[in-house]
A and B are shown apart, each in its own frame.
Chain A
C-alpha cells in the first residue's frame, strides 16, 4: 500500500512534467501535424548511385526524409522553428473515419472525392491569397503547378467554390488496364469489357473497392454511347462525359450490379495490392490498375522478363488526383501554423523535391516546374529513345509555361505510349477521354454500397 501511495504521489508530478516538457516543446516551435498516404513521400537514404543528374548539371539525391529537410529549410528561410509530426493513413475512408473520431491534423492529402466531401462539410481551411502570389520566389506550388492540373482545379467546383481554393495538387494519374503482351491482344485491351471476356477466364484482377469497380462497370454499361462519334464530337463532350461517368441512377446501378457479378465470376481476384506481384509473376494477364502502380508493375515485371503494357480503354478513363488540404479544426485560426502548412506544400512542389517524390513513389507529380526545366528534363532523361524506331510524344499540355511557344516533346521508342511514359504522362487524346469521379451524395452512396454488398455476398434467397 505504501508503495501504491507513493506512486500515486509521484504520478501527478510525472504527469505535470510531461505536460510541461510538451508545452516547452511547442513554445519555441510550430507543430505541424501532417497525415499522408503510406509510402507517399521520399524518406531519403538514397545510395550514391541513385543520384539523379539533370542535363544542366544539377544533382538530386534524397539524403533525409523530405519532411525533416523541410524543418531545416523552413528555419533557414523564415527563421522560425517548425516540428513536423508526420503520420500515415491507408485509405480515404480510414482518414475520414479518423477525423470523425476526433483525430486532428493540420495538413492531409486525401483523394479527389474526399476533398469534395470535406469541402461540402466545410471542414477545410482555404489557402491564403499570398499562396497564389507568383512573384514570391518561395511559392513553388503556384509557380510550378502544371497548367493542366491548375485548370482542372479551377474549373471544377463544389458548392460554388473552385477546388483550387482549398486544395493543392500533389500526385495525379489515370486508371486503366495493365496487360501481358504475350497473352493479350492490344485490341482487346482497348475496351473495358476485357474484364468480362471469357477468353481470359480467371486471369483478370479488379480493384477491391466500390468506386473503382463501379467506374469500370459503368463504362462497360455505357460503352456504346461513349464510343459513338456524335457523343465524341459534341461541343460539350467533356461535361457530358463527366455527367455520364458519375451516373448513380437506380436503374443504372442495377445494371452495373449485374455486370460486376459477371466480372466477379470471370476474375482471378478482387485486390488492392497483390496484383502487382501476380502480374509480374505471370499468374494473371490482365489487371485493372492505377497508373502509378502500373509503372511500378511494369518495372518489376521487366526484371522477370514479363512484358506488360498499360492502356486507358477507349471508352474513358478515370482521372484521379491527391491533393493537400488544410483542416479547419487543426489550423484553428493559428496564422503561424497556416504559414508553415502552406510552406510545406510549397517545399514539396519545389522541382527537385517533386522529382525525388516521383522517383520514390512512382506516381506523377502535379508539378510541371514552370520556368524551371528540371521536371521535363527528368522525364526526357527517363524515357528518351534508345533504339531507332521512335515516336514524337507531345506532352505540352502538361508542361507548357505561360506565353512561350515552346513544345514539350519527348522522342521516345515506339510503343512507349503503352509503357511507363504513357502511364506517367498520358497523351492528349487519352487525357481528353478521362473524367473525374466526384463524391456521391449520401443517397447514391448507400445505393452503390448496397449494390457492392449484393455483388460480393452470398444471398440466402439463391438457395430457395
Chain B
C-alpha cells in the first residue's frame, strides 16, 4: 500500500484552499467586471476606467505615494540592514528583533499611536496629510524592507569583497561594484513587499485623515454605491498592474542571479 502514498497528496489542502479562495473569487470578479447591470457582456467598464480622468488620476496618485514610500523605506532600510548584517555589532540578532517587533503589534494600533505622536509634533495633523501618509506607511512597511535586505546581505560571500580590495578597489568602489549588485535580489523582494501594499492600503490614509482616494478606496466607493461591475473592473486592472510589476521585477531578479553567476 505504501507505494501509493505520494508526497504530492500533502499539497491537496493547499490546492483546495487555492481553488476556493483564490481562483473562484477571481473568476467571480472577472464575471462582474465584464458584465453590466443586466448581466450582458460588455467592455464599457474597461473603457470607462481609461477615459475617466479621476480613475487615472487615482492610479497615478497611488503609484506616486507607493513610489515615495518604497524609496524612503529603501533609503532607511539599506544602511540599517547592512550594519545589522555586516557591522561588528555583538548580539545583532537582538537588534534585528528590535526592528521586527513592531510587526507583532496590530498595525491599526501602531498607526493610532503614531497619530498621537504626530499630533504632539505638528499640532493639527490635517495640515500635512501627504507627509503623514508617507510617514505612516513607511513606519508600517519598513520591516518588510529590512528583512529581505538583511537576509540577502548577510548571505553575501565576504571573500568577494576581500578579493576586490586585494585588486585595489576602494571601499566605495567595492560597495558599488560588488555589494550593491549582489544585494539586488533583496532590494527587489523588498520593493515588492512594500510597493504593492502601499498602493492599495487605504486604511492608513483614512486613519491619518488624507481624504484623497487611492485605488483601494476607489474600489470601496464603487461597492458602497452597489456598482459591483465598475468596482470589479478596477480590481482586475489593479491585478494586471501588479502582475506586470511582478514580471518586470522578476526579470530583474534573474538578471541579478545571472550577474552573480558571471561574477563567480
Q: Which of A274, A446, A456 contacts B213 (CB 8 A)?
A: A456
Interface residues in A254-293 by Cβ distance below 8 A to B read 264, 267-271, 274, 283
Is the beta-carbon distance between B57 and A283 smaller than 8 angstroms?
Answer: no
What are 6 contact pairs spanning A and B, CB under 8 A?
A452-B221, A453-B54, A456-B213, A457-B212, A460-B56, A462-B57
Q: Which residues of B contact A274 (CB under 8 A)?
A: 207
1/0 per residue, CB under 8 A from A, across B222-260: the answer is 111111100000000000000000000000000000000
Given A97-B223, A269-B211, do A202 and B5 touch, yes or no (CB 8 Å)?
A: no
Instruction: Give the contact stretch, choosing among B16-24, B66-74, B119-127.
Output: B119-127
CA distance A264 to B217 in the complex (A): 16
B47-71 at interface with A (beta carbon < 8 Å): 53-58, 60-61
Q: How far is the CB of B257 from chain A (nearest CB, A)?
A: 38
Assembled-state Cα–Cα distance A267/B222 (Å):
23
Query: What are the residues of chain A within 8 A of B228 when measuring CB–CB?
Result: 97
Whole-angstrom distance between the Cβ of A258 and the nearest chain B Cβ: 15
> Digit string of B95-137 for contact with A (CB within 8 Å is 1, else 0)?
0000000000000000000000001000010110000000000
Q: Residues 424-464 of chain A: 1 if any B CB is under 8 Å from the residue's CB, otherwise 0?
A: 00000000000000000000011001001110111111100
Q: Which 3 pairs of residues, A with B, have the shortest CB-CB distance? A: A269-B209, A460-B57, A449-B225
Q: Chain B CB within 10 Å — which of A97, A269, A461 has the most?
A: A269
Q: Give me the interface of A with B, judged by CB distance under 8 Å.
A: 1-2, 4, 91, 93, 96-97, 100, 202-203, 208-210, 264, 267-271, 274, 283, 445-446, 449, 452-454, 456-462
Extra contacts besides A202-B124, A449-B225 (15): CB < 8 Å: A93-B224, A93-B225, A269-B126, A270-B211, A445-B225, A445-B226, A452-B221, A456-B213, A457-B58, A458-B54, A458-B212, A459-B54, A460-B56, A460-B60, A461-B53
Report B's interface with A, CB cutoff 8 A: 1, 4-5, 9, 53-58, 60-61, 119, 124, 126-127, 206-207, 209, 211-213, 217-218, 221-228
- The CA-CA distance from A1 to B61 in the complex, in Å, is 54
Q: Given A269-B126, A269-B209, do A91 and B224 touch, yes or no (CB 8 Å)?
A: yes
In the complex, A453→B58 CA distance in Å? 10
User: In the complex, A208→B218 CA distance in Å?
Assistant: 13
Whether A97 pairs with B213 at a CB distance below 8 angstroms is no
Residue of A nearest to B225 (CB): A449
Contact of B225 among A210, A267, A269, A459 (CB under 8 A): A210
On chain B, the residues within 8 Å of A270 by CB distance are 209, 211
